[in-house]
Chain A
Amino acid sequence: LAKTTQPISMDSYEGQEVNITCSHNNIATNDYITWYQQFPSQGPRFIIQGYKTKVTNEVASLFIPADRKSSTLSLPRVSLSDTAVYYCLVGDGYSGAGSYQLTFGKGTKLSVIP
Chain B
Amino acid sequence: ETGVTQTPRHLVMGMTNKKSLKCEQHLGHNAMYWYKQSAKKPLELMFVYNFKEQTENNSVPSRFSPECPNSSHLFLHLHTLQPEDSALYLCASSQDPDRGTNYGYTFGSGTRLTVV
Contact = CB atoms under 8 A, between A and B. Distances in A.
B102 A46 contact: yes
A98 B94 contact: yes
Taking chain A's interface residues, is the majority helix, strand, or loop, or is none over half, making it mixed?
loop
Nearest to B93: A98
Interface size bucket, B side?
Answer: 20 to 34
Given A104-B42, A106-B42, A43 B112 contact: no
Taking chain B's interface residues, is the majority helix, strand, or loop, or is none over half, making it mixed?
loop
A51 B51 CA distance: 28
A59 interface: no
B104 A34 contact: yes
22 contacts: A32-B99, A41-B109, A42-B107, A42-B110, A43-B4, A43-B90, A43-B108, A45-B2, A46-B102, A46-B106, A49-B102, A93-B104, A97-B50, A98-B29, A98-B30, A98-B31, A98-B50, A99-B31, A102-B45, A103-B45, A104-B43, A107-B42
